[in-house]
Structure 1
Amino acid sequence: MADIGPLNPLPVVAAELDQPYTVGEGVPEELQAAARYGVVPNVFPYLMQDGYTREAAPKELPAVVLENRKLRATVIPSLGGRIWELFDKVTGKQLLHTHGAPQLANIALRKAWFAGGLEWNIGTRGHSPTSCDPLHTAIVHTLDGKHILRVWEFERLREVVFQVDIWLPAESAVLFAAVRIRNPNDHDVPMYWWSNAAIPETDRTRVIAPADEAFGSDYATDITRVRPTDHNGYDGTWLVNSPHAADFFFDIDPSERRWVVAADDDGDGLAMLSTGRLRGKKLFVWGQGQGGKRWQQWLSPGAGPYAEIQAGLARTQFEHLSMPAGAEWSWVEAYGNGHLDPDTSHGSDWEAAVGHAGQRLEELLGHEELEAMLPAAITDADVPPSTMLLHGSGWGVVERARRRRTGKGWIDESGTPFVDESITAEQEPWLELLKGKAFDGAPSFVAGADWEEPLERQESPEARFHVATMRHARQDLEGAKAAYREVLAAGGVQSRTLALAHRGLGLALLADGTDREGLNELRSGVQADSSNTALLTEAVTLSIRHDQPAQALELLESAPKEGTAVRRLRFLKALALARVGKAGDAAAILREGVEIPDLREGEDAIAALWEEVCPGEAVPFNYQFGMH
């Protein structure tokens, strides 16, 4: 696979997250309210992970294998603690979509993401900020003889601690995962969680859940109540029937057991079961259109098509739940081969298929047996690690220090210790600030009033710049502009800070509709730090977006000739040329070939430009990324 590359140095301050889809007919008011609740403008204080390319090379990663005579599970702690393989030894089948060449792509909240395996998503709608980060990882031995693999981290967007305990009993046909989220705050927190499993897609794969209806979205229309088995004239529970990308959030009655299962031509496939708190169950397909097929090739080169089945706290991924102050939420998930009878599971009688699947899954793991495992899992969650395998980020250490300084509560770290060995240059300046030391800048960012107060007491322009970013991230545009201007008026400002202050002021002005002045500030930022290709790329993009393609071409004269940003800059040059009336030059670039490693999910800009500058010519397959 490709290296993830360096973090993007630009603070994520603009209101740039996609907002939830609008809600259509038949959707309950409480779901609509939950879709409006907890929406964030961005993922500040995280930085984006977009320094990767599509140039793969052999890469060695630490892995942990849990194995008995029925199953073998492989976990990759350094990439979000993902379960990468779940191999059924009885049938010789991989229950998860997995492959030997994971391809990084712009799908997650911080951009970098890869398809395959089973991942843990927390924070807000989208793939987790920790998707490609190493998590704290340890082996835990309990008094009753369990051997548990534990991964955990401090999630910075919601300021909560999450952990996943994974274990495989000696004779078990299912793998278990116990999840715990802890809210140490003295206020409610909007909470989001979805466990996402990629499954192989075949012509005969069907997904079954105990519900007749679902909340559906096809990435082009409102969320509506639908019947998956009769949706727009086709049965969407068969993976290959959907013409376009689609979500089906099964509306499972609260009295029903929570499960979803995939069944191939033999009736084999992944079953996801959970205790009651994990209410939501979902099917996602890329669809059979050219865009869906292209996305699957882009994400899993040579590995074949895949779909996803998921389990979440809410009924849909458009919702957040309110997690009370000081609360702890726990549940247990189980994964194994459903071993359905294909004649029934693939029959035309949906009610019979659901009844049969429910019976088979009860035989695989009884409902009462799974529910009875929760109290022990809650107790085990505090058992101290026996052997540390990997350190995650140092932000848990920083958060503990911040809370102690302000007299606020924190978690019991017995089971999830945050250790000083995890501290890096990203966290060191903030720990020093908490100790009252002089602050002279940091490569990372923090959020919250508890940080603004000590920064306000500092005299350096670097401290003032960080105050500006915090105001900007929470969309206090007037306060941000004032602080940015103070930085720009100060003397002796580091070139990096000077460039980012120009950039921040420019973004705030653009958000206020002051386009010309805002674009001028972006250009000044590029001139202040010509080595910052991320800043250049953003300035070029926004110049085109705000109808100043000539400025974009002027900025592109200083573009680097190599590096990760070159490929997107090449496309942006074609786009700018088209906007100044040079369609032939733009077409020549497209015909020669462009590739954007961090192409955003659903971004169809290359195809749109091709249709504009090469009228009458079919869009090449490798340029088709439309979701619908």
Structure 2
Amino acid sequence: MKNEQKVHLWEEARQIPTYEVGEPNKNPMFLEKRVYQGSSGKVYPHPVIDKIHDQKKLKSYNLVIVENEYLRIEVMPELGGRIYRALDKTNNYDFVYYNTVIKPALVGLAGPWISGGIEFNWPQHHRPNTYGPVEYKLTENDDGSATVWVSEIDRMYGTKVTAGFTLHPGKAYLEIKAQLYNRTSQPQTFLWWANPAVAVNDHTQSVFPPDVHAVFDHGKRDVSRFPIATGTYYKMDYSEGVDISRYKNIPVPTSYMAYKSDYDFVGGI
């Protein structure tokens, strides 16, 4: 039997080329007549940032790294607690997209948002603090595993989430567990989702469970059959019958969410 190596856990500072963001708008935004991916566009009491600088410079970030004999996972508490890098050490392959430059785009609820890694979101799409700092804690567990904990209280609704990223000795997977708490006296709605980024090519295919036969756009603004689209979706004519699970068949940026499933997985190949 192969000897299982200890899971290592540590922090380190790293300089990363960064396009910095402008100062937050000093005037609070209470509620505009806008819809953000099917949700309300309000952000108060979060400040809104609407400027990204054009020149990059080196900026130091604190990274938390957990590593075993198979995987190296890098977590960035300063930018939403996202998984910045996920490396398969057996073949030196980044199995989620590793963006070596921090270059925000103004597509987040409160402004800045970055691509790459795995983004964790609550209580709605691309959460308001996706580009802000979160609390974190490192633990070495009795079974030899190690966990990076990240936690945040949402300023808009008062709910709290704690997520743990665990590597086990001898295991070639990352275990992620999340717990949401309602700290208020009123019922609160929430959405929890992880947004992994992957590099694509003409062979890339999205994999949904076999009982998924329809997909929705953000906010259920549009609907399509899946995987073979037979109508108009994102203003594209698929009436000839097009397999939209395959990246090469989608000519415009497109989102689709499974309508309903009794299974608990999605994937990509």
Pairwise TM-score range, normalised by the shorter structure: 0.7 to 0.9
1:171 aligned residue? 170
1:162 aligned residue? 161
CA–CA separation in structure 2 for the residues paired with 1:240 and 1:59: 36
Residue 216 of structure 1, CA deviation: 2.7
Work out whether 1:140 is the aligned partner of 2:157: no
1:248 aligned residue? 256
The DSSP-based 3-state class of the residue aligned with 1:148 is strand
CA–CA separation in structure 2 for the residues paired with 1:106 and 1:69: 38
Q: Check whether the contact 1:87–1:93 (CA below 8 A) recurs between aligned residues.
A: yes
The DSSP-based 3-state class of the residue aligned with 1:240 is helix
Distance 1:90 1:41, change over 3 A: closer
The DSSP-based 3-state class of the residue aligned with 1:199 is coil
CA RMSD of aligned residues (A): 2.1
Q: Which amino acid aligns with 2:55?
A: E
Work out whether 1:4 is the aligned partner of 2:3: no
Work out whether 1:13 is the aligned partner of 2:30: yes
Residue 49 of structure 1, CA deviation: 2.4
Q: Which amino acid aligns with 1:234?
A: V
Q: Check whether the contact 2:216–2:257 (CA below 8 A) recurs between aligned residues.
A: yes
In structure 1, stretches of 5+ residues that fail to align are 22-38, 264-628
Residue 91 of structure 1, CA deviation: 3.0
Q: Check whether the contact 1:65–1:74 (CA below 8 A) recurs between aligned residues.
A: yes
Q: How does 1:457-468 map to 2 (within 5 A)?
A: none
1:49 aligned residue? 49
The DSSP-based 3-state class of the residue aligned with 2:174 is strand
Residue 149 of structure 1, CA deviation: 0.7
CA–CA separation in structure 1 for the residues paired with 2:167 and 2:64: 12
CA–CA separation in structure 1 for the residues paired with 2:51 and 2:65: 30
Distance 1:214 1:4, change over 3 A: same
Q: Which amino acid aligns with 2:265?
A: W
Residue 20 of structure 1, CA deviation: 5.8
CA–CA separation in structure 1 for the residues paired with 2:217 and 2:190: 21
1:88 aligned residue? 88
State how many pairs are aligned: 242
Distance 1:229 1:86, change over 3 A: farther
Q: Which has the higher strand share?
A: 2
CA–CA separation in structure 1 for the residues paired with 2:48 and 2:156: 13
CA–CA separation in structure 2 for the residues paired with 1:19 and 1:94: 31
Residue 143 of structure 1, CA deviation: 4.3
Q: Check whether the contact 2:144–2:169 (CA below 8 A) recurs between aligned residues.
A: no
2:247 aligned residue? 239
Q: Which amino acid aligns with 1:15?
A: E
Work out whether 1:59 is the aligned partner of 2:65: no
Q: Check whether the contact 2:37–2:218 (CA below 8 A) recurs between aligned residues.
A: no
Residue 195 of structure 1, CA deviation: 0.7
CA–CA separation in structure 2 for the residues paired with 1:105 and 1:41: 17
The DSSP-based 3-state class of the residue aligned with 2:90 is coil
CA–CA separation in structure 2 for the residues paired with 1:14 and 1:185: 22
CA–CA separation in structure 1 for the residues paired with 2:28 and 2:215: 35
Q: Which amino acid aligns with 2:30?
A: V
CA–CA separation in structure 1 for the residues paired with 2:249 and 2:113: 26
TM-score, length of structure 2 as denominator length: 0.83
Residue 225 of structure 1, CA deviation: 4.4
Q: How does 1:280-319 map to 2 (within 5 A)?
A: none
Q: Check whether the contact 1:104–1:113 (CA below 8 A) recurs between aligned residues.
A: yes
Q: Check whether the contact 1:121–1:127 (CA below 8 A) recurs between aligned residues.
A: yes
Q: How does 1:438-457 map to 2 (within 5 A)?
A: none
1:260 aligned residue? 266
Q: How does 1:494-573 map to 2 (within 5 A)?
A: none
CA–CA separation in structure 2 for the residues paired with 1:69 and 1:102: 28
Which has more radius of gyration? 1
CA–CA separation in structure 2 for the residues paired with 1:41 and 1:222: 16
Residue 252 of structure 1, CA deviation: 4.6
CA–CA separation in structure 2 for the residues paired with 1:145 and 1:72: 16
Residue 83 of structure 1, CA deviation: 0.5
CA–CA separation in structure 2 for the residues paired with 1:161 and 1:100: 30
CA–CA separation in structure 2 for the residues paired with 1:63 and 1:19: 30
Q: Which has the higher helix share?
A: 1
Q: Check whether the contact 2:99–2:115 (CA below 8 A) recurs between aligned residues.
A: no
CA–CA separation in structure 2 for the residues paired with 1:41 and 1:70: 42
CA–CA separation in structure 1 for the residues paired with 2:33 and 2:162: 28
Distance 1:178 1:201, change over 3 A: same
Residue 92 of structure 1, CA deviation: 2.6
Distance 1:242 1:90, change over 3 A: same
1:75 aligned residue? 75
Q: Check whether the contact 1:216–1:246 (CA below 8 A) recurs between aligned residues.
A: no
2:213 aligned residue? 213
Distance 1:19 1:97, change over 3 A: closer
Residue 238 of structure 1, CA deviation: 1.0
Residue 145 of structure 1, CA deviation: 4.2
Q: Check whether the contact 1:73–1:85 (CA below 8 A) recurs between aligned residues.
A: yes
Residue identity (%): 22
Q: Check whether the contact 1:216–1:226 (CA below 8 A) recurs between aligned residues.
A: no
Distance 1:209 1:192, change over 3 A: same
Residue 167 of structure 1, CA deviation: 1.0
Looking at both structures, which has the greater relative contact order when contacts are Cα pairs under 8 Å and sequence separation is at least 6? 2
